Chain A
Amino acid sequence: MKNMTQTETNQRRRTVFFLIVAVMILAAVTAAGILTEGCAVETDFSRRNLSPSLQHLFGTDWMGRDMLARTLSGLSLSIRIGILTAAVSAAAALLLGTASVVLGRKADAVISWCIDLVMGIPHILLVMLISLACGRGFTGVVAGVALSHWPSLARVIRGELIQLRQAPYILVAERMGVSKLQNVRRHMLPHLLPQFLTGLILLFPHAILHESSVTFLGFGLSSEQPAIGVILSESMQYLTTGKWWLALFPGLALVLVVALFALLGERVRRLLDPSSAHE
């Protein structure tokens, strides 16, 4: 028995350790990106199109910009946009998901209809449209990604709350005269917190992927900014001449960051979910 408790704490400790390391890596990338921003736009035509070497780990591009610096500042930008948009999206999802349960059947019908509507348009098309409406650029991307990612989480929250509404302790509280709003705040939301948190963290990868996709298509950040989407869309012109490093490393770095976020979300879920917290 004693042995078992020991492995439990180890597993838990390992997860917590992983979480700390992952957050630190992401924070380091973000900080490094902000610091290298000056480096990223620095052009030097004496070192054009260098393939990766010790001096320039990721090589340089057609204007002699260091690809490592560009990638880092691109990632940093992506992470910051991802955090911003995921937070807005998750807040909207929480608000609408709760409203559809609390405000009665009509509100529920309207909100469900909106969820279906937003989910009916392919994500990338919707982000494109919203970005257009905001005049592209930074605002366009942020608005586009923030306003298109709430439906799935809102649906989860709504479903969870509808189930929860029939739970005995909620019914008892209602009978005892606790107001609806109080009930939601005191009894339902705390119950929802783990799911909401993991939903929030799992929104990051989506947000980052869509941000870079939309930028890649030309609807997002402008081409002067060192975004991953811009880097990859520029690299397309140089592929046929064999400059593989322009596309390979920045994309790989993006995949790693997105995967790290996804792992983070998965681990947090396992830690918070009572059914797997002690595995």
Chain B
Amino acid sequence: MKHRLQFTGKKLIRMALLLLGVSIVTFLLMCASPLDPLQTNVGQAALGTMSPEQIAKLEAYWGVDTPPLTRYLGWLSDVLKGDFGTSLLYRQPVISVIGQRLVSSFWLLLSAWVISGVLGLAMGVIAGAFRGRWPDRLIRGYCFLISSTPSFWLAILLLLIFAVWLGWLPIGLSVPAGMDAAAVTAADRLRHAILPALTLSITGVANIALHTREKMIDVLESDYVLFARARGESEISIILRHGLRNVALPALTLQFASVSEIIGGSVLVEQVFSYPGLGQAAVTAGLGSDLPLLLGITVVTAAIVFAGNLIADLLYGVIDPKIRKGASRG
């Protein structure tokens, strides 16, 4: 138990350092950008008609005139106090923008994560059990095709089929357009989240299905499965009792480690469906050179990804005692 705590503590410190690194890298990249935030957001024509004082005021607002190091240190000390600054585009505290966006993204991400995990596991188990026969080929072909497909194109296709042709589902946004926020029901939100969640789910299965298939094949070739067969256990029972049990934990670990891909996919999918989530906010912030917001979003996403990785690392320890020992020693 002590070892586990030590291991977790070490990982947490590493995570904090990595987050610091992420914020520095993001900050440097944003500072290095030759794009002038005044040009992009105010426009050349409007700038031409302004007085020098007004321009100086705007420059101070967008932080053009402060040296990067002072800005970063100021940002960092504020963050340690729990203040992520104010979004320049939304004119709201970054924390509240991220909070709102994260809530609407959260259900989308969670449902896609769970569905792709369960579906991928099931597909992997089936493919492994039917190795070399048509279900296996079908599933492998699907995984191959889906990993070659850009998720935003798939999103466009689904939009075209279900929203434009069939008219079953709404085109975009998380609520019906022109509706009072109070009048939006949970059913409305659900209807608008179906297509984005579907896109993310069907693109997310490829990796986990292929890994599970490999593991499943290993298990089915093992001696204990041979023994079970010799004892006369039925194939279904072997797959459920020996196969599924052995592949479930590695699959869960893999799914925790792949949080980053789902978040990355959500950036594109939210953009296509104009779903007001975290990903869309990141794109808006990037296009508008909104440094505090983009910095906040990157750090928060990185924190979620690292948390997923940490859980995956801890789960490895649960499965495999060898890793547990090695990790606590080194």
B114 touches A (CB below 8 Å): no
The reply to whether A117 and B32 contact each other, CB–CB distance below 8 Å, is no
**A236 in the interface (beta carbon within 8 A):** yes
Known interface pairs A232-B152, A247-B157, A262-B148; A132-B30 also in contact (CB < 8 Å): yes
Residue in contact with B150 in the complex, picked from A136, A218, A251, CB distance below 8 Å: A251
Known: A124-B268, A209-B150. A235 touches B156 (CB 8 A): yes
Q: Interface 1/0s, chain A 13-54, versus B by CB < 8 A?
A: 000000000000000000000000000000000000000000
Within 8 A of A (CB), among B255-308: 260-261, 263-265, 267-268, 271-272, 282-283, 286-287, 289, 294, 297-298, 301-302, 305-306
A63-71, A87-95, A189-197, A237-245: which lies at the interface: A237-245
Residue B328 lies at the interface, judged by CB distance under 8 Å to chain A:
no
Q: How far is the CA of A153 from the CA of B80 in the complex (A)?
A: 35
Q: Tally chain B residues at the interface, Cβ within 8 Å.
A: 51
Q: Tell whether B144 is near chain A: CB-to-CB under 8 Å.
A: yes
Q: Shortest CB–CB separation between residue A167 and chain B, in angstroms?
A: 21
- B26 at the A interface (CB under 8 A): yes
Residue of A nearest to B282 (CB): A125
B156 touches A121 (CB 8 A): no
Query: Is there contact, CB below 8 Å, between A247 and B264?
Result: no
Residue of B148, B272, B286, B302 near A132 (CB, 8 A) is B286
**Which A residues lie within 8 Å of B267 (CB)?**
122, 124-125, 217
A254 to B149, CA, bound (A): 8
Question: Given A129-B30, A217-B271, A255 and B148 touching (CB < 8 A)?
Answer: yes
Chain-A contact segment, one of B17-25, B68-76, B95-103, B220-228 = B17-25
Across-interface contacts of A247 in B (CB, < 8 A): 153, 156-157, 160
Q: How far is the CA of A248 from the CA of B160 in the complex (A)?
A: 9
Q: Are B164 and A254 interface neighbours, CB within 8 A?
A: no
Chain B neighbourhood of A135, CB < 8 A: 33-35
- CB of A133 within 8 Å of the partner chain: yes
- Chain A 210-225 interface mask (CB, 8 Å, partner B; 1/0): 0011001111000000
CA distance A213 to B271 in the complex (A): 11
**A128 interface contact, C-beta 8 A:** yes
**In the bound complex, CA of A259 to CA of B206 (Å):** 14
Max chain B CB contacts within 10 Å: which of A117, A134, A239, A251? A117
Q: Contacts A236-B272, A247-B156 known; A130 to B148 CB distance under 8 Å?
A: no
A217-B267, A235-B156 are contacts. A242–B287 as well, Cβ < 8 Å? no
Contacts of A128 in B (CB 8 A): 282-283, 286
Selected contact of A117 from candidates B22, B28, B157, B271, CB within 8 Å: B22
In the bound complex, CA of A129 to CA of B28 (Å): 10
- Classify the secondary structure of A's interface with B: helix
How distant is B24 from chain A, measured CB to nearest CB, in Å? Answer: 10
Q: Within the assembled complex, what's the spacing in Å between the Cα atoms of A236 and B274?
A: 11
Q: B13-55: which residues lie under 8 A (CB-CB) from chain A?
A: 14, 17-18, 21-22, 25-26, 28-30, 32-35
User: Which residue in A133, A235, A248, A259 is a CB contact (below 8 Å) of B148?
Assistant: A259
A213 with B152: CB separation less than 8 A: yes
List the 10 closest A-B pairs by CB distance, nearest first: A122-B264, A251-B153, A133-B29, A259-B148, A258-B148, A133-B32, A135-B34, A124-B264, A129-B29, A122-B263
Q: List 15 A-B contacts (CB under 8 A).
A: A120-B302, A121-B25, A121-B260, A123-B260, A124-B265, A128-B282, A129-B30, A132-B33, A205-B148, A216-B152, A232-B156, A242-B164, A255-B150, A259-B145, A262-B148
Known contacts A122-B261, A129-B30; 14 additional CB pairs below 8 A are: A120-B302, A120-B306, A124-B265, A125-B263, A125-B267, A128-B286, A132-B33, A133-B29, A209-B148, A217-B286, A218-B287, A247-B157, A248-B160, A255-B148
